[in-house]
Amino acid sequence: MREITFSEALGEAMLEEMQRDPTIFTYGEDIAKQGGIFGAYKPILGKYKDRIIDTPISEEVIFGSALGAALAGMRPVAEFHFSDFLFTGMTAVANQIMKFKYMTGGQGKIHLILRGPDGISKSAAAQHSESIETLFMHIPGIKIIVPSTPYDMKGLFKTALKADDPVICFEHKMLYAKKGPVPEEEYYIPFGKADIKRAGKDVTVVATSRMVHESLKASEELAKEGIDVEVIDLRTLVPWDKETIIESVKKTHRLVVAHETWRRGGWGAEIAATVQEEAFEYLDAPIMRVGAKNVHIPFSPPLQDFVVPDYKSVINEIRKVVNV
Amino acid sequence: MQYEKEFLIGLYRTMVRIRNFELKAEELFLQGKLPGFIHLYIGEEAIATGAMANLRKDDYITSTHRGHGHMIAKGADVKKMMAELYGKETGYCKGKGGSMHIADVSIGVLGANGEVAGGLPIAVGAGMAIKMQKKDSVVISFFGDGASNRGAFHEALNWASVFKLPIIFLNENNQFASTERVTETTSVKNIGDRAKGYNIVGATVDGNDVIAVYEVVKEAVERARNGDGPTLIEAKTYRIKGHFVGDPELYRERSEVDEKWQFEPISRFESTLLKMGMLTDSEKDSIWKDAEVEVKDAVNFAEESTYPAPESALQDLFESDEGYDY
Ligand SMILES: Cc1ncc(C[n+]2csc(CCOP(=O)(O)OP(=O)(O)O)c2C)c(N)n1
């Protein structure tokens, strides 16, 4: 199969769906001329000029207007530029977009997407390194996609572009240039369906986004010692695929959850709690969590490396559960 | 010009120091020695310099992601700045902040900011504190043309006007917000005109003319110290370098930049001073030489400094870490 980058997969999803649906349009800061600050949107440069729009630095309006546009019949895809800047327009997201349908007794189709770069990149420091997907999982009202491969990026994004609910898509900065197989034929990936990225029988690791790759690396290392790790990529956080995880735990009897966002109160805690509520009898060991240390992301490389989890962090937690 | 030679040379020296720091930062970044991002102030030196010449140590500023020039003009330690750009332990933020988060609260620098317009509300708070403490200090809040389109700008100006706070909102209109031209994103020709909407004094000035900036800020500072409230000043300039070092600059032609470079503030001021006989060629050379030595020393200091111990990442979140789970 041909291999394309994560960015190209995003671009293809956009172009195919824009062609199919003339109500889709996209806007944000620095996208029309540069394709986003990390060039994620490069594949759509110069295409559909009146539907790919640069806006002022006005986050509250970038997000809030998506709601208005959706209610008025369009399908907006608003870019948040850096996930950190979701905070600057958070009232539009949390108080308007996420509540509108519920508060109005189910009125309107809120088909809109918020998307953009997220996650820790090299020394971007605290105000450009946030992985804040958990916040949107905590507050009801938006679906969350967190793809880890070009294949998933394209398939999930195409589904988002057809969905009739608000969707937020977190694209990890370190993944944009990553290549992977993507078929030429059209396909869609449903929300709430996890993907087993590696089958194994000794321990289950549940991860998303960059941490899927770190977990796969950890599993390769541990395979050398005869520890057989199953890596489940959740792909979407709302909804999340409980069944696949529980099925896996029934087989491996051990669970580690791995995310890049802060360990304390991260989404892994929700998964760990749910599994112990519903599948406690299958567990042979406590559930362990991997996450960033509970501080902001520091600038200096040795500090950042210390705070941010990687494959070694995953190995550490796996070691704690395998010998129990 | 009615100014003393010493004062004029001082302005020139500050601009040259900023320029040298920035040229070195660019070079180091391109050599792969500096982590993260660097946003250069080259061509905008007259604004920080002219404005800050009005300030005392007990005045405050809030800065931006393009803040090295503000820091230097306010009297920051260039060695600590450089060490921070390297991510070293001896840097202003002990390696936690980097270029976009440098602060020196002890000299009134309440932080560069990685969030566009993030400094304006902070400036409002400093202005309130000054008022409550019945001091005659002032605050200058620097921000870009792009920042003037954020809600924080509107809220800060309205608030400062209502409470008559001693703040100078100093807009650095360098014509670009990242890849976007001000004409494409901003509803007014002069951002200074927006003052009307807040019932405060507004001005638009040539930001490449250090004396013009000095004078307009001087009036605003006097107003602020007298309790007559805030001022919005737009200083028009041009961003000579990319948005950040490494910017592919797909949004403009080289020829445009070359044309604008002819109006850059340092050589412009320099020729005025030379013509006036306020500066000799040998003084000029020694000012540049001193500035080069200063950054060279700063680079040596930074390179000789060690990286912070990884565990220090868990310090500085609170005053005391008692009971905190890392
Ligand atoms: C709230 C927010 N939105 C977007 C960004 C990304 N960003 C960083 S600098 C910049 C452009 C800022 O333009 P301007 O305010 O004119 O300042 P300049 O860079 O021209 O000095 C943008 C969009 C950000 N840092 N913060």
pLDDT digits (tens, 9 = 90+) for A215-248: 999 999 999 999 999 999 999 999 999 999 999 9
Confidence check: pLDDT of A192 > 80: yes
Among the partner residues A33, A293, A304, nearest to B314 by beta-carbon distance: A293
pLDDT band of residue B321 (cuts 50, 70, 90) is confident
Which residue has a Cα nearest atom 8 of ligand 1? B116
Q: What does the pLDDT look like over A115-133, one tens digit per residue?
A: 999 999 889 999 999 999 9
Contact B96 A58 (CB under 8 A): no
Q: What does the pLDDT look like over B125-138, one tens digit per residue?
A: 999 999 989 999 99
Note the residue count of chain A: 324
Which residue has a Cα nearest atom 17 of ligand 1? B144
Handedness of CA B205, B206, B208, B213 (dihedral sign): negative
- Chain B residues within 8 A of A303 when measuring between CB atoms: 87, 95-96, 308, 310, 312-313
Closest chain A residue by Cα to residue B94? A300
Beta bridge pairs of residue A28? A54
pLDDT of residue B326: 85
Q: Which two tokens stand for residue A294?
A: 């509970």
pLDDT band of residue B260 (cuts 50, 70, 90) is very high
The rounded Å distance from CA A225 to ligand 1 centre is 49
The rounded Å distance from CA B243 to ligand 1 centre is 9
Task: Write the DSSP string, B22-36.
Answer: HHHHHHHHHTT-S-S
Beta bridge pairs of residue A162? none
Q: Which residues of A are catalytic?
A: 128
C-alpha–C-alpha distance, residues A305 and B11, integer Å: 42
Task: Residue window 160-219, chain B: list those with CB within 8 Å of chain A.
Answer: 177-180, 184-186
C-alpha–C-alpha distance, residues B284 and B282, integer Å: 5
Q: What does the pLDDT look like over B197-247, one tens digit per residue?
A: 999 999 999 999 999 999 999 999 999 999 999 999 999 999 999 999 999
Q: Please compute, for residue B250, the number of CA atoms within 13 A of its CA located in the half-sphere on the CB side.
A: 12
Q: Is the CB of B100 under 6 A from ligand 1?
A: no
